[in-house]
Structure 1
Amino acid sequence: MALRNALLAALADRESSGYDLAKRFRGSVANFWTATPQQLYRELEKMEAEGLLSARLIKQDKRPDKRLFSVTEAGRAALLGFSRRSPKPTTVRDELLIQVEALAHGDVASVHASIREHREASRARLHGYEQRLAEILGERTDEEFLATGNRLGPYLTLQRGISFERENIAWADLALGVLARRFPDDSRYA
């Protein structure tokens, strides 16, 4: 159900194609909800069949025709109902943390490599979120945007994603530092 609500929220302001939604999910929505393009397309089809979305076909030359999805009144009612309920508390499900938890029983070099890979992925996501935030702000400061901007939801979710990735990077730096101090003679941890 959460993917459904994420799609309704993403389409609430403007119609979009499945392709554009998939790009948007990678660029901004991914900081709080992930889905593969295949999952998005399947859910869009289901939502259209249930009357939560409508689609119109756009004929294109030299490209396949595309469908633009928009939220129906039933979809807006469903999104409103979702926004009125209390969300479930956030829980962490992170395979890297399982590897770290089992560090004494595993391959320290592999865990070290995993932490470094995750840190680099967090840096890349952070860069993307910061770029998206700069696009939303335009020439305005944060204070000016907060006083006059109309896209507060994306602003706030991007701020959450930025905070999350900064914390992931800080934790990875801490963990890598601990490994370097614990195994000072091993050049893999320097």
Structure 2
Amino acid sequence: MALRNAVMAALLEGEASGYDLAKGFDASVANFWMATPQQLYRELERMEREGLIAARVVEQERRPNKRLFSLTEAGLAAVRAYVAQPLGKPTAIRDELLVKVQCADVGDIEAVRRAIAESMEWSTAKLARYERLRERLLAGRTEDEYFAGAERIGPFLTLLRGMSFERENLRWGESALRRLESRAAASGREA
């Protein structure tokens, strides 16, 4: 998947500045796509040149003018075409933590345990952020009420997937820590 598809997905929420998109990526698509602000700005420039998005300048006092981007008809057509394409190969996991865990038997088990614990802290923080976003989207409604009446349900569905992913990271981390501790105790190594 190209970054442009994630950008177009984010712009389905409405026009946004590059800054807003970079900040909003964290709240809207970070549960399935990551990009640096530099990557995002470069992609916005390309997409504007290709006519997929349009920008309008908003003049501001005491601040630099900002450009707000929105999807063009060509951009909406590109989103529709993208959605209609069959999926490519399934995503492969590329996770440095798992490489460290793979080496736990010959390395420093305590260092591996610290890495797992740190990863769990990140997952806990992301899950809390996702929970706050979920509550904001629901605005007092049940999930069934949200799905029955919301204009767009895609962002909520991807949010639920992100929450599930972080919960599974925590479940796996707890299990891995227990097993590493048992292994270290059985072998007489410090855990």
TM range (shorter): over 0.9
The answer for the alignment partner of 2:48 in structure 1 is 48
Name the CA distance, whole Å, in 1 between partners of 2:143 and 2:116.
32
C-alpha distance in structure 2 between counterparts of 1:30 and 1:186, whole Å: 39
Indicate conservation of the 8 Å contact 2:58/2:65, yes or no: yes
Give the structure 2 partner of residue 57 of structure 1.
Answer: 57
Task: Using structure 1 for the length normalisation, give the TM-score.
Answer: 0.94
CA offset digits 1:30-71 (Å, max 9, x no partner): 100000111111110111011111000111111111000001
Q: Distance in 1 between matches of 2:25 and 2:77?
A: 22
2:66 is aligned with what amino acid? K
State the Cα RMSD in Å: 1.3
Tell me which residue corresponds to 2:117. Answer: 116
- Distance in 2 of aligned mates of 1:49 and 1:107: 51
Partner residue in 2 for 1:35: 35
Structure 1 range deviating more: 165-174 or 96-105 = 96-105
Segments of structure 2 that go 5 or more residues without pairing to the other structure are none
8 Å CA contact 2:113, 2:177 repeated in 1:
yes
Quick one: distance in 2 between partners of 1:131 and 1:151? Answer: 18
Count, aligned residues: 188
Q: Which residue of 1 aligns with 2:158?
A: 157
Q: What aligned pairs does 1:1-190 form with structure 2 within 5 A after superposition?
A: 2-88=2-88, 89-184=90-185, 189=191
1:13 CA displacement: 3.3
Q: CA deviation at 1:147?
A: 1.0
> Which amino acid in structure 2 is aligned with residue 103 of structure 1?
A
Q: Report the Cα offset of residue 186 of structure 1.
A: 6.1
User: Which stretch has the larger CA shift, 100-109 or 167-176?
Assistant: 100-109
Partner letter of residue 124 of structure 1? A
CA distance in 1 between partners of 2:104 and 2:173 (Å) = 15
Could you tell me the TM-score, scaled by structure 2's length? Answer: 0.94
Identity within the alignment, %: 53
| Structure 1 unaligned blocks of 5 or more | none
Residue type at the aligned position of 2:149: T
Deviation at 1:90, TM superposition (A): 2.3
Segments of 4+ moved more than 4 angstroms: none
3-state SS of 1:30 partner: coil
SS at match of 1:104: coil
Aligned partners of 1:28 and 1:129 also within 8 Å: no
